[in-house]
Structure 1
Amino acid sequence: MAITMYQADRNYVTPANDGSLYSAMLNDTSGIINNRGNNFALTADGLVISIDTGQAVIGGRSVEITALESVTVPANSSGSICLVVDLTKTNTVTGDAGDPTYAVAVNQVYTSAVTGTLTQDDLNNGGFIYELPLATFVSTATAVTLTAATGYLNDTGWLTLPNATGLVIGSGGLTQYRVRNNVVYIRLQALDTSKTTNANQIGTIPSKYAPSITFMTAGMDDSSGTPYGIELHVQTNGLIYANYVSPHNGGIGGTITYPLG
């Protein structure tokens, strides 16, 4: 038969079957599970990075660090501290299945300091390697600077919006977006669009997070000292711009929220 059901009586479920199911349930998202262990907290001692306990899901595979792991970063370089699922590796088995002495040394997951472009294959469609960054690093001959890189599962954390050319961000201003549980959140503050295209562009949300329909929401300009209502627009190509009545484009702010799909 060319059809099967893995969760069937007496059937055999492989790790690949299991991983594909869990990945689908998590919208094919890989990331850290919040509040497990110490959330992979990183500490540096010279060029040695210690990675604390935590749990993650990578391509539907559950990964856990149960005691401190360490990675040595190459000197005078930059890259990412990663959890790596590598299906090209072979796990080592001792004893016989079903016996108390049976054990598996899992070689298909490890930590690594990765320089260059990350490999993030689709593990459920023929891919073999997925490198999940916990932090980016820049090293000198003797020390490392770390910057957190991965949000919690189904939560990107706050990221900087790719801004329009010419956008001026005033004191205390920001352009940020966050995707959490398939909802996009955007927050804007103290923006001057007067030097952008059409004097109204703010930035562009990455295409994979763009809305399925063009829509408008309320915003505000307070450049004159008195709040003035304006329109904030989000297009299906991800472009965010403001409709305003001149000269109310010098202190733009607001929040935008919409579901994906």
Structure 2
Amino acid sequence: MAITMYQADRNFVSPANDASLYSALAGDSNGIINRGNKFNITNDGLVATINTGQAIIQGRLVEITEAEQLTLPANSSGKICIVVDLTKTNDASGSAGDTSYAVTVNQVYLAAVTGTLTQYDLNNGGFIYELPIASFTTTATTVTVTQIASAFNDTGWINATIPSGSNKNQSNAYAQYRVINDLVYFRFRSIYCVGSYGGNQVMQLPSIYMPSVPYDQHFAGSNIDDNTGQSSPCDFVFQSKSGGTTVYGDWNQNLFNKLTGATASGSYPLN
């Protein structure tokens, strides 16, 4: 027969079958889940220590049960990755079903990747998938590490930082962001920006939530004149700055010093 059902009496479910199912249930998403220390990373010189945690990578559950160390290359930049590599062969000892049976899994490991990430579809014939959990920049002796946000993390709505000189113009004004399943959602209402540099700085997001191409992330909103109640279209854009990402208004129109009630909402992918 050319048709089968893996979850059937007496049938055999391979790791590949299992991973395909779980990947689909996870929306074919990959990322860190809220377990252990979520791969929190510390460093001493060029040695990074990756703490405990779990991730779903192409439907495969990967776990670090004890802190692992990884030496990063000097004078470079790249990503610290968990790598699922199906070209490797796992080692087994004992007989399957016996209490002495054990498997050494060689098909997953940590790596410092300085070039383009390899991310093939393991459920459709691919063999290697590199999941970035942090980015790094090194000198000859030191390293700066920035954690990459989890794809399966729901932060809930968080109040965003409002740039110096801007403020909430009404009692029901807000500026917030939220991260769900590798998407950053943001919203703001009635943010008075006239006092900020350029008169158009609306809100700031942490640097780990910066869009991959910040200048190309435009979104539509409005500028409400809180004195007259009149609303006019407004174009907003992200710009990376030291310590975070700032949302600016009227980037293309250069209508500076006029954002008296910036209002908009939207979302964008992290990667």
Using structure 1 for the length normalisation, give the TM-score.
Answer: 0.70
Kept in 2, the 8 Å contact 1:221–1:248? The answer is: no
**1:180 equivalenced with 2:174 (yes/no):** no
**Counterpart for residue 58 of structure 2:** 59
**1:256 equivalenced with 2:265 (yes/no):** yes
**Counterpart for residue 98 of structure 1:** 97
**Counterpart for residue 117 of structure 1:** 116
**Counterpart for residue 136 of structure 1:** 135
Matches within 5 A, 1:17-56: 17-34=17-34, 36-56=35-55
Task: Output the CA distance in 1 between the equivalents of 2:42 and 2:122.
Answer: 30
Distance 1:157 1:121, change over 3 A: farther
Distance 1:61 1:74, change over 3 A: same
The residue type equivalent to 1:14 in the other structure is S
Task: Output the CA distance in 2 between the equivalents of 1:205 and 1:103.
Answer: 50
The residue type equivalent to 1:229 in the other structure is S
Kept in 2, the 8 Å contact 1:183–1:257? The answer is: no
**Counterpart for residue 6 of structure 1:** 6
Q: CA deviation at 1:149?
A: 2.0
Kept in 2, the 8 Å contact 1:170–1:192? The answer is: no
**Counterpart for residue 220 of structure 1:** 223
The residue type equivalent to 1:19 in the other structure is A
Task: Output the CA distance in 2 between the equivalents of 1:138 and 1:183.
Answer: 25
2:126 aligned counterpart, secondary structure: coil
Distance 1:84 1:155, change over 3 A: farther
Task: Output the CA distance in 2 between the equivalents of 1:106 and 1:227.
Answer: 64
Kept in 2, the 8 Å contact 1:33–1:153? The answer is: yes
CA distances 1:61-92 after superposition (whole Å, capped 9, x unpaired)? 00000001010001101101111111111000
CA distances 1:36-59 after superposition (whole Å, capped 9, x unpaired)? 111100001000000000010000
CA distances 1:99-136 after superposition (whole Å, capped 9, x unpaired)? 11100000000111111111111111111111111110
2:17 aligned counterpart, secondary structure: helix
**Counterpart for residue 165 of structure 1:** none
1:124 aligned counterpart, secondary structure: helix
Task: Output the CA distance in 1 between the equivalents of 2:147 and 2:184.
Answer: 21
| 116-125 or 147-156, larger mean C-alpha shift | 147-156
The answer for unaligned runs of 5 or more in structure 2 is 167-174, 194-198, 202-213, 237-248
**Counterpart for residue 107 of structure 1:** 106
Task: Output the CA distance in 1 between the equivalents of 2:264 and 2:184.
Answer: 11
The answer for unaligned runs of 5 or more in structure 1 is 159-168, 194-201, 211-215, 235-240
Task: Output the CA distance in 1 between the equivalents of 2:37 and 2:127.
Answer: 28
CA distances 1:173-228 after superposition (whole Å, capped 9, x unpaired)? 8x9976625876234665859xxxxxxxx97559xxx9xxxxx8x64346x87775
**Counterpart for residue 75 of structure 1:** 74
Distance 1:6 1:142, change over 3 A: same
Distance 1:186 1:16, change over 3 A: same
Distance 1:121 1:227, change over 3 A: farther
Task: Output the CA distance in 2 between the equivalents of 1:129 and 1:147.
Answer: 24
Task: Output the CA distance in 2 between the equivalents of 1:86 and 1:172.
Answer: 51
Task: Output the CA distance in 2 between the equivalents of 1:130 and 1:156.
Answer: 26
Percent identity of equivalent pairs: 56
**Counterpart for residue 150 of structure 1:** 149
The residue type equivalent to 1:30 in the other structure is N
Distance 1:227 1:183, change over 3 A: farther
Distance 1:143 1:184, change over 3 A: closer
Q: CA deviation at 1:148?
A: 1.7
Kept in 1, the 8 Å contact 2:33–2:150? The answer is: no
Q: CA deviation at 1:254?
A: 2.6
Task: Output the CA distance in 2 between the equivalents of 1:20 and 1:154.
Answer: 22
